[in-house]
Structure 1
Amino acid sequence: MAKLNMVGKVIGRLVVLSPFNTSKPGRHWKCRCECGFETIQSTSKLNEAVKKGKNIGCKCAREASILKAAKAAVQILRKHGLNHSKLHWMYDNMMKRCYRPETNRYERYGGRGIGVCQEWSDDRSAFYTWALEQGWEVGLSIDRIDVDGDYTPTNCRFIPIERQASNTSRNRYLEWNGKRQTVSDWARELGVRPQALQHRVDRGWNLHRMFTQPFRRIHQ
């Protein structure tokens, strides 16, 4: 079988310079990006880029993609007179609570495995476009239909900010021994702080353990 030769091929932002010496020749290649940075790429990754038409490169390719998405997002906001709007703030906060552990509410989102779909996380403008198509306006807040699901176009909607307080994980319903009520109502019935019961919910305790393991009681 003839040896694979990719030298001289231009793939995305890269030009293949030479094979990269490894224990398995032909598996990796030394490439130079348009920006002048040299990088090592695998044969499989280069072939995938050719097949899917990816604009592969060094780290500058991702930076260029992010810049392009950011510019598109700004244009969308300007078109609708929303530059530096609450929609911009909404997107930033959605990303922070899912991916930045230092954020106050991270435990209730990213800490529970909740994330943002790739379409939105990769491209801010895609989120803006979806939001405007859904009729977003000032005074509306993003809400997940399934409070345990990710932020996705099919699991999100907009509701008045004042309604969102009644649709958070802290007010989710729990059913135990044939009775169904909110975390707050169960906490009152059990004589414990709502935060104590919610902590068990957030940690994924099963219902039996959640309701049978003793709490620290509230002192009257």
Structure 2
Amino acid sequence: MVAPIDMVGKRFGNLVVLQLADERRDNKRCWVCLCDCGNEKVIIGKNLRNGQVKGCGCLAGRPASFGSFHHGLSRSPTHTSWRGMIDRCTNPKHGYYEYYGARGITVCDRWRNYENFLADMGERPDGTTLDRVDNDGNYEPGNCRWATWDEQGANKRKPKDRRAA
């Protein structure tokens, strides 16, 4: 059997490939993808590569005036923080992946959906960013907070920890 083309981290429209799926459809390889709206969907790889599928379906039947995402918050500071969290942990091509995903830092399943993240964390207050209380812990309820730059600066791994990463 031919090895699959590695598509992890690649973007196809509103979808980012997370991993090779366990299932096959019509004897074709499938990939688990994360839509910009927060939904995960399993898609046949060929349909991603040829442009036939560009999203999870959240845009289907919506007029252009609705914008790009079904929740309408894609340009909010909170969504920007959420998207950055997802990318740092899942996209090997992201500039900070080595400090997050490569270290084993993950995003809990619940927070793969933007609406769940928003419900748990609330809107991002002005002047804050997403911070993990335990820097070796995952992005999940109970380990995250909105913190100022000063608070985040005081919550860093010690230099010896950074060398070990």
Q: TM-score, normalised by structure 2?
A: 0.56
* Aligned with residue 167 of structure 1, among 145, 155, 159: 155
Cα–Cα, structure 1 residues 58 and 105, in superposed 2: closer, same or farther, change >3 Å? closer
Give the match for residue 63 of structure 1. 56
Distance 1:156 1:63, change over 3 A: same
The alignment yields a C-alpha RMSD, in angstroms, of 2.9
Paired-residue identity, % = 30
Partner of 1:101, secondary structure, is coil
SS of the residue aligned with 2:56?
A: helix
Which residue does the alignment assign to 2:142?
Answer: 154
> TM-score, length-normalised on structure 1?
0.43
Contact 1:39 1:58 survives alignment (8 Å): no
Query: Structure 1 pair 130/167, CA: closer, same or farther in 2 (3 Å)?
Result: same
CA deviation after TM superposition for structure 1 residue 200, in Å:
3.1
Correspondence list, 1:28-177, <5 A? 39=26, 63-64=56-57, 70-71=69-70, 73-74=71-72, 77=73, 84-121=75-112, 123-132=113-122, 136-169=124-157, 172=158
Question: Take 1:67 and 1:152, find their aligned partners in 2: how far apart are those partners?
Answer: 28
The total of aligned residue pairs comes to 111
* CA distance in structure 1 between the partners assigned to 2:43 and 2:90 by the alignment: 24
The structure with the greater share of residues assigned to helix is: 1
Match of 2:163 among 187, 196, 200: 200
Task: Find runs of 4+ consecutive structure 1 residues off by over 2 angstroms.
Answer: 57-60, 197-201
CA separation of 1:199 and 1:58: change in aligned 2, threshold 3 A: closer
What secondary structure, in the 3-state scheme, does the structure 2 residue paired with 1:167 have? coil
Q: Which structure has the greater CA radius of gyration?
A: 1
- Structure 2 unaligned segments of length 5 or more: list them: 1-24, 28-41, 45-52, 61-68
